[in-house]
Structure 1
Amino acid sequence: MPNPPPALRQHLASMPGLSRRASLSALLLSPWLLPRVGAQVVQPVDSGGHSAVQLAMPWPAGRSPQGFGVSEKFDGVRAVWDGRVLRFRSGRVIAAPTWFLSALPRVALDGELWIGRGAFDRLSGVVRQAEPDDEAWRAVKYLVFDAPGHAAPFAQRMAYVQSTLAQAQQPWLMPVLQREVKDARALQTLLHDTVRQGGEGLMLHRSDASWQPGRTDALFKFKPELDEEGLVVGHQPGKGRLLGMTGALLLQMPSGQRFALGTGLSDALRRDPPPVGSWVTYRYRDRTPSGLPRFASFLRVREAE
């Protein structure tokens, strides 16, 4: 086996079993595997101008997590790097400082720009500026959880990401570490602990799955409450105390179904609601037999990208 550099050896020693074994596998197979792992098999931006990304499905309650890499779900801003340009999920270019971009490796990466737990609004204000604030960007981390379009199972893609980022030697550029969880009970405990400490939830990647864009059963999210985005197609007038304000947003779901969302709206948003054509994120517990969300509550407006 080739002797890894000191920074990579230290990085491997800190990893949970799944990540460490995957990284060692990649090194053992080098140089035969890694050139193939790095081969692009899809375009990083689709025909509609959107970044080609994997999208998660809700984790089925009680399912065993064996065969999956489990990681924290970070409440950040999705950022896709194609080796030259950093983009939002929509495909719009992110105006990051030159020092940030020049330090990124010339390979495709997918991850989250992140500052810390509970700091989404602060992060959003930093990364969505047309002219980057150099000092504000110093607090931003790029947490990488995949290598888009690389022809290898997820465990090997993450080994490739880990070794690549270790070579970059940037403290703000790091892989999202994966762990093995033995059963559904242990997964539930991990979710509880993560949320109690301020985390949003968990992500589960099927370790043997190839990368593919779009919604896939190779990637799941596990949260105390589910969330989804809806298109604002109208405003319903308020009554009583809310007279003269917006009582509810009329949303269209990805399925095409529509429902009224009023819970969670502040008075400020009711006076100046998200316009028709904008997207908002809402939380919900489960679905009705017809597919509508139960106990839906407004979370945030999705910023234009």
Structure 2
Amino acid sequence: MHTPPSAPLLRRTLLLIAAASAAPRWVWAEAPPLMLPKVYKPGVALHGYWVSEKYDGVRGYWDGKQLWTRGGQAITPPAWFTAGWPAVAMDGELWAGRGAFASAVSTVRQQAAADAAWRQMQFMVFDLPAHGAIFDLRLAALQELPLPPWVQPVKQSRIASPAALQALLHKTVQGGGEGLVLHRGESLYVGQRSDDLLKFKPFDDAEARVVGHIAGQGKYKGLLGALLVETPEGLRFKLGTGLSDAQRRDPPPVGSWVTYRFRDTNPSGIPRFASFLRLREEV
């Protein structure tokens, strides 16, 4: 004979069903292990490195079946966008064009973004994480993949000298690009920050987590004066410049991640002349 569940058990079951319905459809147990760049410093031997443009979009990881953000959230483009993609892992950037970072983030974050918005997007692929060979060979394998027009292998080239690298950076930034990436040809793919992958930009940037809000004074009385942020290494500092009036009225919430730009660090590791750049909404 079937015994009906007790009232408390029934309520608990209904709550679990509701919670499951409200949760994202796909979430990684942890963020995908992506290779992350360190900062290029003068003196690096350029021989053996490939150089490409650093695309200012949303990092995307295709695991062969599903597209993910760097933070481990599922991306839900229209079915046509990923139809026919190869069943191999691809690491790249979801990019809406130079100067269109906000548009790329807005499109990726929406569970059901307009088809027209995704028509403006490209997946710029720069690596094959699961290939197992050195980057020189991974790059050759990437060029051989059958890909639709909106999935593009990132153009890679060799640079002969620091002067040529500086000239390419200047040309890229003048054209609206963010900067350059250098990738050592003999390197293996490692899911961590590595000297084999370097970013080169007119300024340094990094990410930090918001841990507090500091009230403003003077002309900012009643508004945010500065963000108190903490780096992944545990260093805390104030981030007060670069914020718009709208952001001071409605600041990034505690717990969110922000990108800031800076010029060098002091002996304690605190960034010098740090300035708020943007909220990292896809993290």
Alignment of 1:234-249 (within 5 A): 234-249=212-227
Task: Give the aligned residue type for 2:81.
Answer: F
Aligned equivalent of 1:163 = 144
Counterpart of 1:113 (choices 94, 98, 102) is 94
Give, in angstroms, the shift of residue 103 of structure 1: 2.8
Match of 1:222 among 188, 197, 200: 200
Q: Quick check: 1:90 aligned with 2:68?
A: no
- List, as ranges, runs of 4+ consecutive aligned residues in structure 1 with deviation greater than 3 Å: none
Amino acid at match of 1:223: K
Once the two structures are superposed, what CA deviation does each residue of 1:104-144 show, in whole Å capped at 9, x if it has no partner?
Answer: 11111000011110011111111110113212111111100
Partner of 1:112: helix, strand, or coil? Answer: strand
Quick one: distance in 2 between partners of 1:254 and 1:292? Answer: 12
Asked if 1:145 corresponds to 2:126, the answer is yes
Pick aligned residue for 2:246 from 263, 268, 282 = 268
Describe how 1:149-298 pairs up with structure 2 within 5 A. 149-164=130-145, 167-168=146-147, 170-298=148-276
Residue in structure 1 matching 2:107, options 100, 113, 126: 126
The percentage of counterpart residues that share the same residue type is 52
Matched, 1:80 2:61: yes
Q: Which structure has the bigger radius of gyration?
A: 2
The structural deviation recorded for 1:303 is 0.9
SS in 1 for 2:143: helix
* Alignment coverage as a number of residue pairs: 257
Give the superposition deviation at 1:52.
Answer: 1.3
CA RMSD of aligned residues (A): 1.4
Q: Structure 1: state its 5+ residue gaps.
A: 1-45
**Normalization by structure 2: what TM-score?**
0.88
Write the letter of the residue equivalent to 1:114.
W
Q: Give the match's secondary structure for 1:121.
A: helix
Aligned partner of 1:49 in structure 2 is 30
Residue deviations 1:79-115 (CA, integer Å, cap 9, x gap): 0000000000011100111011113111110000111
| One-letter code aligned to 2:140 | A
The CA deviation at 1:47 is 8.2
In structure 1, C-alpha distance between the alignment counterparts of 2:281 and 2:182, rounded to whole Å: 26
Partner SS state of residue 250, structure 1:
strand
Residues 52-96 of structure 1 deviation map (CA, whole Å, 9 limit, x = unaligned) = 100100001242321100000000110000000000001110011
**Alpha-carbon contact 2:215-2:221 (below 8 Å) kept:** yes
Q: Which residue of 1 aligns with 2:52?
A: 71
**Alpha-carbon distance in 2 for matches of 1:228, 1:286:** 11
Change (3 A) 1:253 1:96: same
Work out whether residues 69 and 282 of structure 2, in 8 Å CA contact, stay in contact via their aligned partners in 1. no
Give me the whole-angstrom Cα distance separating, in 2, the residues matched to 1:172 and 1:107: 17
Give CA deviations for 1:29-59 in whole Å, capped at 9, x if unaligned: xxxxxxxxxxxxxxxxx98521110010000
Q: How far has the Cα of 1:149 moved from its partner?
A: 2.5
Contact 1:149 1:212 in 2 (8 A): no
